[in-house]
């Protein structure tokens, strides 16, 4: 699984022509505080039951607070046959501090 830090991910997303799924695996209260535009919210604990809602052929960028839960979620998705998974290393916190400084941090 590839891992990209927030500035790398931003540049990579800007260059991509194909759509990606931004999968946020944080808890509902965290997602309510801040989120990346267009992200799909499936908390980590619900992912085993809800992963069929996602397209395994599409690139999936997994997001959490600091990058550890998303790393677990990405490994799970790869075991389910997802072929292109990217972990946001540093999580939404890194995104808020390094890319979108207007985003709330917690």
Which listed CATH number (3.50.50.60, 3.40.50.880, 3.30.70.360, 3.40.250.10) goes with 2-98? Answer: 3.40.250.10
The pLDDT, as a whole number, for residue 10 is 97
pLDDT at 70: 98
User: Tens of pLDDT along the chain (106 residues)?
Assistant: 999 999 999 999 999 999 999 999 999 999 999 999 999 999 999 999 999 999 999 999 999 999 999 999 999 999 999 999 999 999 999 999 999 999 999 9
Based on the number of CB atoms within 10 Å of its own CB, is 79 exposed (0-12), middle (13-18) or buried (19 or more)?
Answer: exposed
Ordered by start, the domain boundaries in the chain are 2-98
pLDDT at 56: 97
* pLDDT value, residue 50: 98
Residue with tokens 């999936």: 60
Does 64 participate in catalysis according to the annotation? yes
Distance CA 63, CA 35 (A): 9
Catalytic one among 23, 42, 64, 85?
A: 64
Whose CA is closest to 63, among 53, 54, 55, 72?
72
């Amino acid at each position: 699984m590839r891992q990209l830090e927030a500035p790398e991910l931003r540049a990579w997303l800007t260059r991509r022509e194909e759509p990606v799924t931004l999968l946020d695996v944080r808890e509902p209260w965290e997602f309510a505080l801040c989120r990346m535009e267009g992200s799909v919210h499936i908390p980590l604990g619900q992912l085993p039951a809800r992963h069929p809602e996602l397209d395994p052929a599409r690139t999936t960028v997994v997001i959490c607070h600091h990058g550890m839960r998303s790393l677990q979620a990405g490994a799970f998705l790869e075991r389910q046959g997802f072929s292109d998974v990217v972990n946001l290393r540093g999580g939404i916190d890194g995104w808020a501090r390094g890319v979108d400084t207007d985003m709330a941090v917690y």
